[in-house]
Amino acid sequence: MLGEPDKTEVRSVEPATTGAMCQGAEDALRASEPLYHSLVEALPQSLCRKDLEGRFTFANSRFCDSLNKTLDEIIGRTDLDIHPPDLAEKYRRDDRWVIETGQNLEVIEEHLPLGGQSAWVQVLKTPVRDADGTIMGVQIIFWDVTDRVQAEDELARYRVRLEDLVEERTVKLGQANERLRHEIARRQQVQEALTRERDLLYALMDNIPDTIYFKDTASRFTRINKAQARLLGAQDPEAAVGKTDQDFFASEHAQAAYADEQAIVASGQPLIDKIERLRGADGQWRWVSATKAPIVGQDGRVVGLVGISRDVTERQQIEEERRRLIQGLQDALAQVRTLSGLIPICSSCKKIRDDQGYWNHLEQYIREHSEAEFTHGICPDCARRLYPGMFPSTSTP
């Protein structure tokens, strides 16, 4: 019997305790609801919930504002009651996917507020579960990301433009590289041609017997060949660079050469085949034929000169010998053509005997042995003798 009161007491206490616990939970739930509503109303995002049939069961003020509707105009309605059919069907498919898979869905899509301007929103749809974990609906949160999307679109356009520019520049760079390659090849060909010409010039300068030299506008040597170095007595052609004729020749010749060269620099006109007599480093006098020409730069100004001298000593000696021979022959001819000494002449017929013993008429002999020519006439005595009838007779007193 002692146990029965206890049982009675227990039976009477258990319902009271359970009721108290339920009441506490309900009180706590009611106390949390204001906090929850305060939170969702303060969110910068739009938030709503739907049941399994797609009917709205909750929405915050931001969501209502986005649709330009009151909460009473939204609760209990579906997307078909609010949005165009195609858009409502799209929302319904997304909701069903979340309910059937139990997974979250996060997308960025275009949002068309009723009567408002199009915007881009980021949408997060999550399943709503009860205490047992059974899905009882969908919660949707979305927020405006128009600025970000526009920035990303602008960035994408810039990226495309940049890629186009890079491709364009790459093509141009390839073309420039190709032109550069051709230019390098052309310059290499030019360089090779210049090298060949330089080698030919050096071979010509070093092997030609004529002396060749280059000078600046102050008549200083800038380059000479081996023949010119031998004439100057220089050990090496480089030894003459920077020097003038004053360093190698007598003052008279050096001054005359300097005057000629400065006239070329001033006038730009060449000096052709001037015969000069000079003494080389070996002490021998020689005759040379000197030709000097100006070197003109790209701006048209004279920047130096080039000279070539050919030894014509032998030619001058031959010319001098020829002049002596001609003069000797002229003198001998003059002597032969002058009548002098004893001339054998017949006292009767007046014929003259030549060196071979032949007798010649006076006219013929003089004509052959002098420069004299004859004109024929008749003297008065011969005229009277030959033509007496043409002259009156004269009486002797």
Q: Encode pLDDT of 364-388 as tens digits.
A: 777 777 767 777 777 888 878 877 8
Average pLDDT over residues 386-391: 76
Average pLDDT over residues 114-126: 82
Given a cut of 60, is residue 1 above it in pLDDT? no
Exposed/middle/buried for residue 87 (C-beta within 10 Å: 0-12, 13-18, 19+): middle
Strand pairing class (285-296; 352-353): unpaired
Q: Is the pLDDT of residue 9 over 50?
A: no
Closest CA relative to residue 291, chosen from 318, 319, 252, 264 = 264
Q: Residue 287 in contact with residue 275, Cβ under 8 Å?
A: yes
Fold observed for domain 43-144: Beta-Lactamase (3.30.450)
Q: What pLDDT is recorded for position 109?
A: 87
Tokens of 188: 């290499």
> What percent of the chain has pLDDT above 90?
41
The C-alpha atoms of residue 266 and residue 219 are separated, in whole angstroms, by: 12
Nearest CA to 67 out of 54, 83, 85, 56 is that of 83
pLDDT mean over 302-315: 90
Beta strands in the chain (DSSP E): 46-51, 56-59, 105-111, 119-129, 135-144, 211-215, 221-224, 271-279, 285-296, 302-311, 352-353, 359-360
Q: According to the model, what pLDDT value does residue 27 have?
A: 61
DSSP letter (8 states) at residue 126: E
Give the dihedral sign, CA 231/233/237/243. Answer: negative
* Rounded CA separation 396/380 (Å): 19
pLDDT 10s digits, 15-31: 555 555 556 555 655 55
Lowest mean pLDDT among 68-72, 322-326, 327-331, 393-397: 393-397
Q: Residue 99: enclosing H or E segment and its boundaries?
A: helix 85-101
Q: Is the per-residue pLDDT at 340 higher than 80? A: no
Contact by Cβ (8 Å): 241, 222: yes
Give me the pLDDT at residue 110, please: 81
pLDDT of 333: 66
What is the rounded distance in angstroms from the CA atom of residue 248 to the CA atom of residue 245? 5
pLDDT at 8: 38
CATH number of 209-316: 3.30.450.20
Has residue 63 got a pLDDT over 60?
yes
Average pLDDT over residues 347-354: 78
Q: What is the pLDDT of residue 72?
A: 94
- From residue 385, give the alpha-carbon distance in Å to each of 248, 347, 381, 393: 87, 20, 6, 12
Q: Which residues are within 8 A (CB) of 296 and not within 5 positions of it... i.e. 6 or more apart? A: 268, 302, 303
Per-residue model confidence (pLDDT) at position 294: 95
> Higher model confidence: residue 111 or residue 163?
163
Question: What is residue 57's predicted lDDT score, i.e. its pLDDT?
Answer: 95
The pLDDT assigned to 362 comes to: 75
Residues β-bridged to residue 129? 135
Query: pLDDT value at position 19?
Result: 58
pLDDT band for 13, please (50, 70, 90 cuts): very low
Lowest mean pLDDT of 13-27, 217-231, 246-260, 376-390, name the range: 13-27
